[in-house]
Amino acid sequence: MYERHRGFSDRSKFLFFLVLTGIVLPFGFIDAGGSNSFTIAYVFFLLIVASYILDGWYRNTIIAVIILAFIGVHTYAHYFPERIPILDPGSFFVDQLIQIPIVLFLSFLVVRYFADAYYQTNRRLMQLAHFDELTGLLNRRNFNEILQQQFESGNHNGHLIMLDVDNFKMINDKEGHLAGDDGLKRLGAILRRYFDNGKNMISRWGGDEFIIIYFGESGHVETVLEQVKAEFKDYVKNIEPKVDLSFGIAPLQGCQTPNDVLAKADEVMYEKKREKKNS
């Protein structure tokens, strides 16, 4: 679920905890006054740390050792009370003032570290679930959900724009896939600069296809798209001059489902592709 600390090997960490729980903890319990000590606080602290740092068989073994050690020392203290030192009230009071705050603070640090790691992992998973890793734009699944919600809300005022990079494969074949990735990232950044106004939805729909739900004026959008096209072509002209952009625009108004508007935008886009080939 989250990335564990890998500074030491699992075996080294296991041996460290084994010595700590199997030797240090029992002797510390006896030396500190047995059941009258604050060993139970350290037991809980070790349980927290071991559960976070160790994994699988190592973790289960250490938890079992902690439990068995705790049972063992309490049994020892019960049957051999004369062997357990008795602390005077003054020393016991000092132990309370020092040890309890230390254990509480250490426990807080461990729990906070775990909570931060858990939060960062969840944030990363949410990012991967909703956004395209390469461009940072909405991914296809997230965009489709938003488009579906748009139709369910009854708001059909926008337009759907579908864009496709013509001859994109030439970049991959000529310069390699890293150059292709850079091209897609550049196009994503250009689209974000022109269309990301807090209302429009921009997505890398798959491969070299991008798609936008546009809520601005329909008469203005083609001019903006031509600017996007010119800027992208200026970027790729030194890599592969045959690379171009094709786009199709379809109004949400008059469409009953997301598939309807997607089909219309796709049809317009491929009609433009055919016109390019025939010209």
Give the pLDDT of residue 2: 43
Mean pLDDT, rounded, for 197-208? 92
Q: Which of 85, 98, 104, 99 is nearest to 27 (CA)?
A: 85
Give the pLDDT of residue 36: 65
Cβ partners under 8 Å of residue 131, min gap 6: 137, 138, 139, 142
pLDDT digits (tens, 9 = 90+) for 120-165: 988 888 888 899 999 999 999 999 999 999 899 887 789 999 999 9
Find the domain containing 77 and state its range: 10-129
Pair (76, 175) in one structural domain:
no
User: Cα torsion at 107, 109, 115, 117 (round to 10°)?
Assistant: -130
Pair (259, 236) in one structural domain:
yes
Question: In the chain, how many domains are there?
Answer: 2
Pair (193, 270) in one structural domain:
yes
Pair (166, 245) in one structural domain:
yes
Domain-terminating residue out of 73, 95, 129:
129
Q: How many CB atoms lie within 10 A of CB 19?
A: 11
Q: pLDDT band for 103, please (50, 70, 90 cuts).
A: confident
What SS3 state is found at 205?
Answer: strand
* Residue 3 resides in a domain: no
Instruction: Please say whether the beta carbons of 86 and 33 come within 8 A.
Output: yes
Instruction: Please say whether the beta carbons of 168 and 182 come within 8 A.
Output: no
What SS3 state is found at 60?
Answer: helix
Pair (226, 187) in one structural domain:
yes
Sign of CA dihedral 66, 72, 74, 76: negative
* Residue 1 resides in a domain: no
* Residue 81 resides in a domain: yes
Pair (121, 152) in one structural domain:
no
Pair (271, 152) in one structural domain:
yes
Taking all residues of the chain, what is their mean pLDDT, rounded to a whole number?
86
Domain of 224: which CATH number? 3.30.70.270
Pair (66, 183) in one structural domain:
no
Residue 159 parent element (H or E): strand 159-166
* Residue 4 resides in a domain: no
Q: Could you tell me which residues are beta bridge partners of residue 91? A: none
Domain-terminating residue out of 129, 161, 189:
129
- SS3 percent helix, strand, coil of the chain, rounded to 5, is 70, 10, 20
Domain-terminating residue out of 76, 104, 129:
129
* Residue 135 resides in a domain: no
Q: Give the C-alpha separation, 75 to 73, whole Å.
A: 5
Pair (155, 47) in one structural domain:
no
- Could you give the percent of the chain with pLDDT greater than 70? 94
Pair (48, 148) in one structural domain:
no
Burial class (CB in 10 A: 0-12, 13-18, 19+), 163: buried
Pair (146, 273) in one structural domain:
yes
Q: Give the C-alpha separation, 162 to 258, whole Å.
A: 13
Pair (120, 168) in one structural domain:
no
pLDDT digits (tens, 9 = 90+) for 42-91: 788 888 888 888 888 999 998 898 888 888 888 888 888 887 777 777 77
